[in-house]
Structure 1
Amino acid sequence: MSSRRDRRSRRWSLPPAWGIDHQKLIGAVKSLLSHEGVISTRDITEKRVELTKEGVDFAENGSAEFRTFQRVAAQGGTPQADVMKESYGKVGQSKAMAAGWIAIDKSAGAPTVVRKVDSVVDTVAEQLKALKLGDEAKVDEKSRTELKKRKLISEV
């Protein structure tokens, strides 16, 4: 078992496999700091993005808006009541409508959800997959803020 050293920043990171509680380690270091000349430290705060449970689901199975679009029949549409029965129905319908993927047709009596476009790209799922793989550079700050609002990611 060895620690990993980042040569550029002269930092040491302990592998999680060591099973060392972060707070206990900090406590031990602070204790050593009370003895002058033993060690010197500086605080470094790192943030990383983690997917929430729903974020993982969307990364693997598609976003709510994408699933809603997939649920709507290409010809003739799908009754709105059927779309709303799905666990993702309300959010999916709202986001898909905002993206211009679907519309509500009320001309035939019962509201029907119809497609406005033939195909779509699930950018939310793509962004979540990139974040899951640690490729944060692929997701701009505006998109990351939107994903946080939707509680699909959290910063830790």
Structure 2
Amino acid sequence: MSDYVGWLRSQVGNAPVQLNFAAACVVSDEGVLLQRRGDDGAWGFPGGAIELGESAAEAAVREAEEETGLQVQVVGLLGVYTKYRHVYPNGDVAQPITVFFRCSAVRGRPRAADEETLEVRYFPLTQVPPLTNPQHQDAMSDLRLGRTGVFR
């Protein structure tokens, strides 16, 4: 969680807020890279909050490295996913606005690289485990179908 999100939560508590995120959809011959999250134990795309002054693409690259140990590069826009509601295990409520990017690995080997990550693994696109929330599920569906420039 960025300092901004921490500060915002100190002001509003668990009240619903809009939060801006970026996620990396890392695809290779091995499949799609997913992260098993530490907060709810579910699988999802590596990603997180966009920090103040940071672009969405920069956030996706940074978060992918922080969470998976991989250096990635953005190769295209999957889509922008906005009409969702998420309740976190600690009771925080948000409307996550997430920009999902198609990415490729540049350097490194996937590993659980921070406390937010329990496990990192490639899955064949046709054999993905249940994902953390409908936003990630919709992004996965669009990724499987080869869509780009999606907006929801």
Relative to the length of structure 2, the TM-score reads: 0.22
Normalising by the residue count of structure 1, what TM-score does the alignment of the two structures yield? 0.21
Structure of larger gyration radius: 1
Q: Whose helix fraction is larger, Structure 1's or Structure 2's?
A: 1
